[in-house]
Amino acid sequence: MNIQLVLFFVLALVAIATALGMLVSRNAVYAALFLVLNFATVAVFYLLLDAPFISVAQVTVYAGAIMVLFLFVIMLLGGEKLNYPSKLHWQRPAAIVLGVILFAEAVVIVLGQRGLLPMDYPLPDSFGSPVDIGGNLFTTYLLPFEVTSVLLLVAIVGAIVLTKNEKK
């Protein structure tokens, strides 16, 4: 039992516990804070997977910017109380049945592909470094990168158009 395996299992326990905490918490602020902790543990998983750049981007973009925006919206709109009852009585059993089916499918697929899963592989020294990522992004993957920038531009224009007051 080496140190990486111990770290993985402890962090996996924290990640699953915080995800479940987000699922069951009755207060939206608590749910958002659970999700911040979950994103932080996922960032440590990225470090374990030799991806330091993605790990730091996860902390700054997800745990930092996006979740702070969430908390800001929740507190600004005052929507933190979530305890109104559901009108659909069949929603909970149907959701549990569908979740169990999805889980069974995923387990069958992952275990069925077990022999095809990649093995451990010696990595090049520059793996996951910002220099490597930037070089790949602006040479090999330039077209997907530019398409992503156009997609973000469409999202910005859409947000402005949707929030504009229409003259009656």
> Under a CB-based contact definition with an 8 Å cutoff, are residues 76 and 29 in contact?
no
Stretch in the footprint of another protein (CB under 8 A) among 95-103, 139-147, 151-159, 160-168: 95-103
- Segment lying near another protein (by CB under 8 A), choices 5-13, 139-147, 156-164: 5-13
Smallest distance from the beta carbon of 107 to another protein, in angstroms? 7
Residues 64-93 that bind another protein (CB under 8 A): 66, 70, 73-74, 79, 82, 84, 86, 91-92
159 counts as binding another protein under rule CB under 8 A: no
Q: Could you tell me which residues are beta bridge partners of residue 27?
A: 81
Q: Which of 38, 33, 70, 39 is nearest to 56 (CA)?
A: 39
CB 37 within 8 A of CB 18: yes
Query: String of b and e for 41-66 (b: at least 16 CB within 10 Å)?
Result: bbbbbbeeeebeebbebbbeebbeee
d(CA 139, CA 163): 37
> Which residue ranges make up the site for another protein (CB under 8 A)?
2, 4-5, 8, 12, 15-16, 19-20, 22-23, 28, 31-32, 35, 38-39, 42, 45-46, 48-51, 54, 58, 62, 66, 70, 73-74, 79, 82, 84, 86, 91-92, 94-96, 98-99, 102-103, 106-107, 110, 114, 117-121, 123
